[in-house]
């Protein structure tokens, strides 16, 4: 297991992984890093996740750390090799629910009101099961084309779905940083099942990337033939000149 959690101060890249999976978290445009990521080997696959803490310095860091640690603990205790996909989806949802309870239980005193986004994915062969809470995202990309994407839990996402705001306008909209669901606050968990093929790339990201780098630029950066580390570094390097937030990505390539 490789768990990268918020640390202060964080002024350099923190990264870990292999040629086919790699994660990076960077302080970006903030003084403190409230993001974190998880890359965990399972008996027959990998568990991946990114989290973006809410509630300010200290509280946001605690919430993202608790969510990722809880996710890892639940899978470490309950995941078994060959788990049926329906049961795997239930386990992902359960892990988000337990993380929600853990964060709420700790949200007292100076930590009151803390929360975190959490997008998690289990990769097994050519199948990906994704669970999402909040506005961090999972993307599935093939040769620069968006195949699938999680939907944000946010008022702005609802406006985009209704056609009242375009995706381009959403990047500059005043509602950009508001979420309608988060671990520790109001819990929603969306589940996705994606089938992948050769040259597909899975990206998990916090909004420090996708709120500041246009979708087309993200897709162009995810080109086949490069290592996961090179892809992750390229994405973060493109975000740094523009972002006002922490930046975290996990990239898996087939």
Q: What is the pLDDT of residues 175-197, one digit of tens each?
A: 677 888 999 999 999 999 999 99
Reported pTM: 0.90
- The answer on pLDDT for 83 being more than 50 is yes
Is residue 135 packed enough to be buried (19+ CB in 10 Å), middle (13-18) or exposed (0-12)?
Answer: buried
Q: What is the pLDDT of residue 57?
A: 67
- Are the C-beta atoms of residues 60 and 54 closer than 8 Å to each other? yes
**Per the structure, how many domains does the chain have?**
1
Question: Average pLDDT, stretch 208-233?
Answer: 94
Residue 100 has pLDDT above 50, yes or no: yes
- Domain of 109, CATH number, reads 3.60.40.10
Write the pLDDT tens digit of every residue in 197-213: 999 999 999 999 999 99
DSSP bridge partners of 119: 50, 132
Task: Pick the closest to residue 104 from 154, 167, 62 (CA basis).
Answer: 62
Residue 158: give the domain boundaries: 2-253
- What residues contact 102, with CB distance under 8 A and at least 6 apart? 66, 67, 70
12 vs 207, more confident? 207
Average pLDDT of span 91-114: 97
The model's pLDDT over 20-79, given as tens digits with 9 standing for 90+, comes to: 999 999 999 999 999 999 999 999 999 999 999 998 767 999 999 999 999 999 999 999
Q: Which two tokens stand for residue 218?
A: 């993200």
| Contact indicator for 14, 26 with CB cutoff of 8 Å | yes
pLDDT digits (tens, 9 = 90+) for 231-245: 999 999 999 999 999
Other C-beta atoms lying within 10 Å of the C-beta of residue 132: 27
Question: Do residues 143 and 126 make contact, with C-beta atoms less than 8 angstroms apart?
Answer: no
Q: What was the pLDDT predicted at 11?
A: 31
Q: Pick the residue with more confidence: 156 or 185? A: 185
Pairwise pLDDT comparison (171 vs 119), residue with the higher score: 119
User: Average pLDDT of the chain?
Assistant: 89
Name 154's Cβ contacts closer than 8 Å, sequence gap at least 6: 135, 175, 178, 179, 180
């Amino acid at each position: 297991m490789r768990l990268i959690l918020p640390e202060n101060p964080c002024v350099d890249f923190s990264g870990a992984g292999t040629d086919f999976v790699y994660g990076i978290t960077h302080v970006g445009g903030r003084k403190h890093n409230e993001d974190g990521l998880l890359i965990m080997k399972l008996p027959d696959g990998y568990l991946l996740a990114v989290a973006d803490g809410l509630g300010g310095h200290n509280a946001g860091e605690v919430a993202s750390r608790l969510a990722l640690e809880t996710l890892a603990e639940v899978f470490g205790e309950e995941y078994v090799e060959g788990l049926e996909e329906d049961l795997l989806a239930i386990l992902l949802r359960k892990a988000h629910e337990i993380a929600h309870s853990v964060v709420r239980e700790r949200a007292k005193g100076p930590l009151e009101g803390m929360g975190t986004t959490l997008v998690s994915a289990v990769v097994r062969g050519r199948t990906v099961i994704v669970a999402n809470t909040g506005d961090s995202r999972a993307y599935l990309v093939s040769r620069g084309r968006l195949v699938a994407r999680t939907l944000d839990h946010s008022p702005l996402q609802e406006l985009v779905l209704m056609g009242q705001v375009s995706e381009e306008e959403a990047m500059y909209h005043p509602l950009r940083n508001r979420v309608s669901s988060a671990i520790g606050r109001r819990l929603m968990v969306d589940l996705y099942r994606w089938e992948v093929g050769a040259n597909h790339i899975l990206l998990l990201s916090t909004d420090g990337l996708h709120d500041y780098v246009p979708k087309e630029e993200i897709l162009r950066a995810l080109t086949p033939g490069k290592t996961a580390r090179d892809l992750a570094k390229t994405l973060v390097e493109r975000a740094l000149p523009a972002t006002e937030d922490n930046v975290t990505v996990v990239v898996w390539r087939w």
